[in-house]
């Protein structure tokens, strides 16, 4: 086999690993068997994919895809049901609240900014699609953490270094846990200049047909303009919008169904 053939074979094997992991998370030993290959070859391919950010090892030592492939295919993402369903609501919401509206998803303990619509203001919000942020210091991330079980939260805090980005960043696990309890009770999360100075945000959950939180809708604005008073004045409207988006994605509120019955 010449060098060119080896390169083609290596590329084919890399794609095969991605396809296998896309089906479900796989262990190293499982990949060796499915690839019908040796440990050294599979290890080299896995290491390359891991270093490039396409896969990661989860808490059970299984390899799992990150969402980097989504960022490479942004045009395909824009045709995804979530964005197709959400777009009309986002356009209306931007006009109503006169602030930047963002749709985010989550991967590898990070918030992934999927899309945004900006209010036409001289002061622009630096939250670009494709950018990521740590879960613990942004509204959408803290909201996502509020959907973790207590065990999942402990695992998260065991592996996450809570470093400070601003003077308002919460770096105490106990304080974060208390905030997560509050978020669970109120159904939304607030970022008070915890990731970037002068930037404040509020986030609400979006659920799919499995009744799992798959994304968040957040409003971001400069803190002097996006005051706490303004934040709480839009809670009802945004809650209703995220509920409608979730329902269009197949979500059924079991509590409300129980009340109706």
Q: In this structure, what DSSP letter does residue 169 have?
A: -
pLDDT for residue 184: 96
Q: How far is CA 40 from CA 4, 52, 104, 113, 231, in A?
A: 20, 18, 37, 36, 54
CA 213 remoteness from chain centre = 10
pLDDT at 165: 94
pLDDT at 195: 92
* pLDDT of the chain, 261 residues: tens digit per residue: 677 777 778 888 899 999 999 888 899 999 999 998 899 999 999 999 999 888 998 888 899 988 777 666 544 544 457 888 888 999 999 999 989 999 999 887 899 988 888 887 645 566 777 788 999 999 999 999 999 999 999 999 999 999 999 999 999 999 999 999 999 999 999 999 999 998 899 999 999 888 889 899 999 988 888 888 999 999 999 999 999 999 988 888 755 554 444
Backbone angles phi, psi at 128, to 5 degrees: -95, 140
Structural domains of the chain in order of their starting residue, each with its CATH number: 3-66 (1.10.10.10), 70-260 (3.30.450.40)
Query: What's the token pair of residue 230?
Result: 């303004």
Q: What is the pLDDT of residue 78?
A: 42
From CA 30, how far away is CA 233, in angstroms rounded? 53
* Number of helical H runs and strand E runs in the chain: 12, 8
Pick from 141, 69, 146: nearest CA to 111: 141
Q: Give pLDDT, residue 66.
A: 85
pLDDT for position 75: 45
**Which residues have a Cβ under 8 Å from the Cβ of 136 and sit 6 or more positions away?**
142, 145, 160, 162, 170, 176
- b/e 154-163 (16+ beta carbons within 10 angstroms → b): eebeeeeeee
């Amino acid at each position: 086999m010449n060098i060119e053939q080896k390169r083609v074979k290596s590329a084919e094997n890399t794609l095969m690993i991605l396809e296998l992991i896309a089906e479900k998370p796989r262990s190293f030993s499982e990949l060796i068997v499915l690839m019908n290959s040796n440990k050294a070859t599979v290890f080299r391919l896995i290491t390359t994919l891991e270093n490039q950010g396409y896969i990661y090892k989860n808490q059970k030592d299984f390899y799992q895809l990150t969402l980097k492939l989504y960022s490479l295919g942004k045009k395909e993402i824009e045709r995804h049901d979530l964005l197709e369903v959400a777009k009309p609501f986002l356009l209306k919401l931007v006009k109503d609240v006169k602030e930047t509206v963002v749709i985010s998803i989550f991967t590898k303990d990070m918030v992934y900014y999927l899309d945004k619509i900006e209010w036409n203001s001289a002061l622009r919000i630096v939250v670009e699609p494709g950018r990521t942020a740590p879960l613990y210091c942004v509204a959408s991330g803290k909201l996502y953490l509020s959907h973790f079980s207590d065990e999942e939260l402990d695992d998260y805090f065991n592996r996450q270094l809570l470093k400070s980005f601003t003077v308002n960043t919460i770096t105490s696990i106990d304080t974060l846990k208390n905030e997560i309890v509050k978020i669970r009770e109120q159904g939304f999360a607030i970022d008070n200049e915890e990731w970037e100075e002068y930037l404040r945000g509020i986030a609400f959950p979006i659920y799919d047909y499995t009744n799992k939180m798959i994304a968040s809708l957040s409003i971001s604005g400069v803190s002097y303009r996006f005051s706490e008073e303004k934040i709480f004045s839009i809670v009802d409207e945004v809650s209703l919008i995220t509920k409608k988006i979730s329902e269009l994605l197949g979500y059924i509120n079991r509590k409300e169904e129980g009340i109706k019955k």
